[in-house]
Amino acid sequence: MIDHLFVFSDTVSVDGSLTLNIVQGYYEITFNEQIARINMNDLKDDCVTMVMYNNYLDRMYCLYNFKQVAQVFGMKNSDVLKYTKHNAFVQIDQKRSVPFIKVFLPKDQYTLCSDTHDFSDNCHVIKDFIHPLDWHYCATYDLLHVVKQGNLINVLMDVVPSFSGEKVFLNYGRQVYSLESGENKLMLSYCPGEKIYVGSPNSRYEGHAIDVEQLCTVS
């Protein structure tokens, strides 16, 4: 249950202490006497579950469809938190029934408190190095070229699967293509103003968006 749990110390600019207890499949997160409970058996694949805290309202709660919310607003996860003035204490990404859990501790807290587990071996590096960790758990890709040829776009992309081996898709307008490990050559119908999104089928998550108009060349 804690093999894929990573603790980031001294990260969130709030006063207090965060505690995580794991009891019978439930994650119980406590902050300043407020409690949020997550039933890990209820989590769905390709969803992001976030335990959020609003410092102005002094309120902590759990949002199970955070990824979908970010897509509706056309924002990255971090931008949703920024503009709604929330902090994230816990983020859970689940792939193939395996949860990948990040815990962000309040400022000046360097150890995740718990009455049920010892998380001392789960400490990770400072927040500036979160992204390389994400790369290990998420598929990565490199856009080698985008060439516009009339009403078509020629795309060459190199893909490295995540540790789970989960399929990765390219989404462009209503076009959805499954990407294989290694180089992928695709011919797409041009959609003016549309971005390419890499991830799950029909994803429109801005964190994995490619601005075709800026990057493409014309042949």
Q: What is the pLDDT of residues 201-210, one digit of tens each?
A: 888 877 788 8
Please give the single-letter amino acid code of residue 101.
Answer: I
- Name the residue with higher pLDDT: 190 or 139: 190
CATH code of 206's domain:
2.60.40
Q: Is residue 136 exposed (0-12), middle (13-18) or buried (19+ Cβ within 10 Å)?
A: exposed
Q: What percent of the chain has pLDDT over 90?
A: 34
Residue 130's pLDDT is 45
* Domain final residue pick, 137, 163, 182: 137
Same-domain check for residues 102 and 151: no
| Alpha carbon distance 79, 97 (integer Å) | 27
Together in a domain, 90 and 160 = no
Residues 122-156: tens digit of each pLDDT: 876 544 444 455 545 566 778 888 898 889 999 99
Cα(202)–Cα(126) distance, rounded to whole angstroms? 33
Mean residue pLDDT of the chain comes to 84
Q: Are 119 and 59 members of one domain?
A: yes
pLDDT, residue 128, reads: 45
Backbone angles phi, psi at 28, to 5 degrees: -115, 110
If asked whether residues 85 and 144 sit together in one domain, one would say no
pLDDT band (50, 70, 90) for residue 172:
very high
In this structure, the answer to whether residues 156 and 76 fall within a common structural domain is no
- Beta-bridged to residue 212, according to DSSP, are none
Q: Are 24 and 10 found together in one domain?
A: yes
CA angle 175, 176, 182 (to 5 degrees): 125
> What is the reported pLDDT for 163?
60
pLDDT at 127: 45
110 burial (CB, 10 Å; 0-12 / 13-18 / 19+) is: exposed
DSSP 8-state code for residue 16 = S
* pLDDT above 80 (res 173): yes
Q: Answer yes or no: do 160 and 130 share one domain.
A: no
CB 7 within 8 A of CB 100: no
Q: 62 versus 71: which is more confidently predicted?
A: 62
Quickly state the pLDDT bin for 90 (edges 50, 70, 90).
very high
What residue numbers bound the domain in which 171 lies?
Answer: 140-218
Tell me what the mean pLDDT of segment 87-101 comes to. 88
- Are 27 and 76 found together in one domain? yes
pLDDT of residue 219: 66
Could you tell me which residues come within 8 angstroms of residue 190 by beta carbon, excluding any fewer than 6 positions away? 148, 150, 151, 152, 153
- Per-residue pLDDT of 10-41, as tens digits, reads 889 899 999 999 998 899 999 999 999 999 98
- Residues 210 and 172: their CA atoms lie apart, in Å, by 10
Residues 11 and 109 in one domain: yes
**Do 57 and 154 have their domain in common?**
no
22 and 77 assigned to the same domain: yes
- Residue where one domain finishes, among candidates 137, 159, 193: 137
Domain count, the chain: 2
Quick one: 59 and 71 in the same domain? yes
